[in-house]
Amino acid sequence: MHPVIITVGALELLRRRMDTEKKRPVIFVPGLYGSMSDEIVPQTGDWRFGMAASIYEPFIQSLEKMGYKKDENLFIAFYDWRKDCSFCAKKYLKNVINETKRITKAKKVDIICHSMGGLVSRAYAQSNYYERDIEQLIMICTPNIGATDAYYFWEGGRFPSNRNRKNNIEKILIEGYLWVLKKIHKTENDMEIIHKYLLGVRDLMPCKEYGNYLYTIEENENKSFIQYENMIYKNDFLDHLYDTRNLLKKRNIKVTLIGGKGLETNELLRVEPNNEEKWPDGRVVSSINSNEGDGTVMLKSICAIDGDQYTFEGSHTDVLNRCDFAVRKKLGIENDNTENQMDHNLNNYISIRVKGNGKISIKEIDKKKINVLYDEETKEEDIYVEKYDESLQWIIIKNKLENRTYLEYEALDKDDMEITIEDSLGRTKRINEIMNKNKFYRIKLS
């Protein structure tokens, strides 16, 4: 081969390597309940994904396969989701951006965000303290004009039931952390916890641009919509973000909107008047659903602002693992067909919440052999655990239920034992029992 050709080829390889090494740093901003630390729940340790790791760790792994390295050119903006989005943008996201620029010497960053993380990111990008340091904003399943599911939670203190929901992981996380907060703050009042410690949920409710979404049925069976302006709870935060959305274009931020469809999603809510503390704008009795959504957020909400749009079939969390092509394209990374379609979706899992002073172990019987999946000394991959104190523990088991699986509980003291088990189909089992010391309890999981 001619030496000139060899030299040109070597220079091209060197140029590509240098381009790879100079990747603009990426900051990932998770959604609601995607962050955990001592700041949120004492004794839980440093910042991490918490029980949402089952959703977000595979996505971070996909970014690492694109050549990014954590704490070098890949950073995660954890935040206290108990606070409102504007507070989280200023206290948490801005600090991570500043630290990223300091470490990498970059002037701008690319932000990839999921769900509520997109609203936290926009709260900074459209703020009066924005420092022109965002090149791209890649939003995955972000409710840019809100989601009706948030109405259920903020006004009624419950997650909407949907028998056609193919993936209950959002419900598992919301109800799980609500359970944790109630136990820590020693109250069983859902509304007290939500309105005091879950202010971020209020920022997810539909805003004016979503349109009137509550209706009643008149005597002639016609719909009568409740005007947004007359509602007690309006979303001033999203109203402001929508009114100032053009700042994203004026500030030369490249916006990408990635959404999901194909799952029944609550679009309109039928309500009835209610005089109790809950449901001040009306108690939900039914809903009108649409397949133009990801089971949580309508596609029209995700794509309500200007930007390049990509749509994938799948749930609110499935889309994270199906949008690899779009993310690679926006980051300028060559497509890798061998790795794109790895299935990380949470299709088979069990959530176990335990209150009680006892030893917990999870075992499986495989060909007459007993394997320990989890105890105080052992924890297999795809088992996620959080301990909040000596008597509160939450476990999620992912994709490990092919064999006979069971949970064992041994009481260490006389105590009230409370166990809640829920699977990916929404089937729930609750056990409440007064346990004497050394009493043994076995529960089938598979």
Q: What's the pLDDT tens digit per position in 23-33?
A: 899 999 999 99
Report whether 40 contacts 59 (CB < 8 A).
no
* CA 406 to chain CA mean position, Å: 28
Amino acid at 234: K
**Order of all β-strands in the sheet with 358-366:** 369-374, 358-366, 404-411, 440-444
Q: What is the mean pLDDT of residues 221-246?
A: 96
Q: Residue 382 above 80 pLDDT?
A: yes
Predicted pLDDT at 171? 84
Per mean pLDDT, which range of 67-71, 187-191, 316-320, 396-400 is the poorest? 396-400
Residue 296 pLDDT class (50, 70, 90 cuts): very high
Dist CA 26 CA 49 (whole Å): 17
Check residue 354 and give left, alpha or beta (phi > 0: left; psi -120 to 50: alpha).
beta
Integer-rounded Cα Rg, in Å, for the chain is 24
Report whether 66 contacts 328 (CB < 8 A).
yes
Instruction: Please give the DSSP secondary-structure letter assigned to residue 252.
Output: T
Predicted pLDDT at 3? 52
Amino acid at 304: A
**Which pairs from 270-275 meet CB under 8 Å and 24+ separation?**
270/214, 270/215, 270/216, 270/217, 271/214, 271/215, 271/216, 271/226, 272/216, 273/216
Predicted pLDDT at 165? 53
Instruction: Domain 24-347: give its CATH code.
Output: 3.40.50.1820
Pairing status of strand 265-272 against strand 214-217: parallel
164-199: burial string, b at 16+ Cβ within 10 Å, e else = ebbbbbbbbbbbbbbbbbbbbeeeeebbebbbebbb
Number of helices (H), then strands (E), in the chain: 13, 19
Report whether 187 contacts 193 (CB < 8 A).
yes
Pairing status of strand 265-272 against strand 283-290: antiparallel
Residue 16 pLDDT class (50, 70, 90 cuts): very low
Dist CA 58 CA 49 (whole Å): 12
Residue 380 pLDDT class (50, 70, 90 cuts): confident
* CA 262 to chain CA mean position, Å: 19
Contacts of 146 (CB under 8 A, 6+ apart): 204, 205, 206, 207, 210, 235, 238, 301
pTM (predicted TM-score): 0.90
Alpha helices for 185-307 (secondary structure H): 190-197, 199-202, 236-243, 246-250, 299-302
